[in-house]
Amino acid sequence: MKNYALTDFQILRPRHETTQEKGLEWLAKAHAKTEMTKQPDLDGEQLYQDFLQRFMHIGCKPEHIHQRGHELPDFLHHDWPTMEIFRLDQSTFGAGLKQRQEFHDKATDAIFEKYYPLDSLPPKHLIHVSCTGYSSPSSAQKIVSKRSWGDQTLVTHAYHMGCYASIPAIRMGGAFVQTEGGQTDIVHTELCTLHFNPSNHNPDQIVLQSLFADGYIKYSIKPIIDLQRDKSPYLQVVTSHEELIPTSIEAMTWTINDWGFEGTLSKKIPFLIARNIRSFIDAIAKNAGTNAETLLNDALLAIHPGGPKILDHIQEILQLSSEQLRFSRKILQNYGNISSGTLPHMWEAISKDESVIGDTLILGLAFGPGLTIAGIILRKKTF
């Protein structure tokens, strides 16, 4: 059991929100437009219907995701010449990485301004987590400089790890609090939709583009003794664990291309996870001084929803109840996959849900390139 905990969760939503049905329609039109740009004599309506059918067959359906947030206004219309990024009448992939990064920086600068207004107190450490955009100086460094906190707040970047990044970020932040005291803030900024490439019609891209969304969340790591004194509710960190699955290096990738960031997903991922998840649960349970059977019987699970099929596979393998996975499915429905911000969105919901009583254990699991499995056990505390 660690002597620090997570608290003060704060979600900020992107500027725009689109229903999954409308989002899939936009994507189908965008994919059709890229083919029309290459061959103007093609039947645009037929192409649209064909791509829409593919998205509805292969992609994440509206029954699993109700809506997704996005910072970019392009997804609200189909007037391609006026798009900010997806000017598909000029290029089959839209704007290049430089312009996407400029949009990202402007958006994340504004988010840090909202998270740290003028009357904010400086944290001792500030960890910025993202896999969808970075520059130097970062938005985290800019706000520290702007608030004249440069001699009080140290900035650390936890970049390009993907969906499991919250767990190593907490490991870093917890070490800061444990050795130095004070407060460590963690801020996740993810603009996943900025990197869609409508010219790539491969099945894994249909899945990715129908699944990922934008989102922001901030939370703090504080010493338990301070939280108990202030009678503040918190999620105590019990333990964490991380493994690289052998011979899985190509199963999931997140690389940089000329037009933006490019992800790939292998069909083998559910099977690789299925083959290794039980031994992983054994290991993290042992770290917590218990066993896998007791942990799975007692804990509420916050499993990163890399997609509905991932959740279905894990539920079947670990013989979990639907009740244990309700937050995983709820967050997927309400927000989509926000990459590194998804697990913290679940923790925020669990921390505020009065039906989850004090001393409930929460087992968080997430997956990323490597293929990496990362896990964390938290204990909810209320007053």
**In terms of pTM, does the model score above 0.85?**
yes
Domain membership flag for residue 359: yes
Mean pLDDT of 351-365: 96
Domain membership flag for residue 88: no
Which CATH number is 314's domain given? 3.40.47.10
pLDDT digits (tens, 9 = 90+) for 10-65: 999 999 999 999 999 999 999 999 999 999 999 989 999 999 999 999 999 999 99
Domain membership flag for residue 263: yes
Domain membership flag for residue 70: no
Q: How many domains does the chain have?
A: 1
Instruction: Report the C-alpha gap between 339 and 265 in whole angstroms.
Output: 14
Mean pLDDT of 310-330: 92
Domain membership flag for residue 152: no
**What residues make up the domain containing 312?**
234-381
Residue 383's pLDDT is 84
Domain membership flag for residue 68: no
pLDDT digits (tens, 9 = 90+) for 171-227: 999 999 999 999 999 999 999 999 999 999 999 999 999 999 999 999 999 999 999
Please report, for residues 74, 120, 345, the alpha-carbon distance to residue 34 in angstroms, rounded to integers and kept in the order given. Answer: 15, 46, 34
Q: Which residues contact 375 (CB under 8 A, 6 or more apart)?
A: 167, 240, 241, 242, 280, 281, 284, 363, 364, 365, 366
Domain membership flag for residue 17: no
pLDDT digits (tens, 9 = 90+) for 269-315: 988 998 999 999 999 999 999 999 999 999 999 999 988 888 998 99
Domain membership flag for residue 255: yes
SS (H, E, C) the chain: CCCEEEEEEEEECCCEEEEHHHHHHHHHHHHHHHHHHHCCCCCHHHHHHHHHHHHHHHCCCCCCCCEEEECCHHHHCCCHHHCCCCCCCCCCCCCCHHHHHHHHHHHHHHHHHHHCCCCCCCCCEEEEEECCCCCCCCHHHHHHHHCCCCCCCEEEEEECCCCCCHHHHHHHHHHHHHHHCCCEEEEEEEEHHHHCCCCCCCHHHHHHHHHECEEEEEEEEEEHHHHHHHCCCEEEEEEEEEEECCCCCCCEEEEECCCCEEEEECCCHHHHHHHHHHHHHHHHHHHCCCCHHHHHHHCEEEECCCCHHHHHHHHHHHCCCCCCCHHHHHHHHHHCECHHHHHHHHHHHHHHCCCCCCCCEEEEEEEECCCEEEEEEEEEECC
